[in-house]
Structure 1
Amino acid sequence: MERMRDLLRNTLSKSLRTLSETDRLAAAWPVVAGSAIAAHSQVTAFEEGTVILYVDDPAWRPQLEAMCGRLVGDLKKVAGVSVTGLRFVSGQERPRYTQK
């Protein structure tokens, strides 16, 4: 299973190179976070090395914060973007990601 995940990460990483940094991070997020977490969160922006993630339920926040180091490292590797941190936001209205 781990070998398949590595293969998927490497393939995704190669195909993401033509996208903007934010688009690469958004595409990489489900692979890095896993389907359960990705179902409750999404990349909304990338500002000065920090990935802004919308979390639909604040209950997910402690788990994501505990995984922050691994998530940052995996996002760097898969998306090929210089990520320095994650910031989590939540609220009733889900923000929409728009391309610039």
Structure 2
Amino acid sequence: MTDQPTPGEKGDTEPELDPLDAAREALSRARLAARGKGLRPGQQPRVRRKYDIPRDDGGRDPVGLADQMERLLVERGWRVDVAAGSVLAKWPQIVGPDVASHTHATGFEDGVLTVRADSTAWRTQLSYMTSTILAQIEAEIGADIVTELRILGPSAPSWNRGLRKVHGGRGPRDTYG
């Protein structure tokens, strides 16, 4: 047979570790594992956030500001609101300087763009141009942003007070609108 004792016999040569040495050995193993992961003493563990996750292409290249803004607009559902704001801002470019000098876009809500004209003649002219204007908006801004165009005429003065107040009938107001 062999001269080596079997485990559990009195002849074991391995000395038992005291608890302090076991703790030191466990600590050194933990430090080596942390160093292998790139962590340093005193460093807070890093929490992974949505933007920390590597992209599909496997790269960690920086992303341009325009791409980040586009992603933010899509995630938050702000795309239509931003597009509506650009319709209001680009109104002179969309309709041209002649029409823009007599009209201005006043508001946007639920796909309806409200436009106010200087006179009833321009209101009528814009109503004839509605399909052309919607096509220009679609070309400039994008599809399905503006679904309807509400055209308002000039706001009439109030005849409720003053020298020109009429007590019976419509009076001078019948020429507006």
TM-score, scaled to structure 1:
0.65
Structure number, greater radius of gyration: 2
Q: Partner residue of 2:123? A: 61
User: Quick check: 1:76 aligned with 2:138?
Assistant: yes
AA partner of residue 43 (structure 1): A
The higher-RCO structure (CA 8 Å, 6+ apart) is 1
Q: Unmatched 5+ residue regions in structure 1?
A: 1-16, 94-100
Aligned residue for 1:20, secondary structure, equals: helix
Q: Partner residue of 1:27? A: 89
Equivalent pairs: percent with the same residue?
29
- In structure 2, distance between residues paired with 1:27 and 1:92: 26
TM-superposed deviation, 1:92: 4.4
Q: Provide Cα deviations, 1:42-86, integer angstroms capped at 9, x if missing partner.
A: 111111111100111111012111110010111122123611110
TM-score, scaled to structure 2:
0.39
Indicate the larger mover: 26-35 or 46-55: 26-35
Divergent runs of 4+, >4 A:
none
TM-superposed deviation, 1:28: 2.2
- In structure 2, distance between residues paired with 1:26 and 1:47: 12
- In structure 2, distance between residues paired with 1:79 and 1:34: 15
- In structure 2, distance between residues paired with 1:48 and 1:58: 25
Greater per-residue helix proportion: 1
Aligned pair count reads 77
Greater per-residue strand proportion: 1
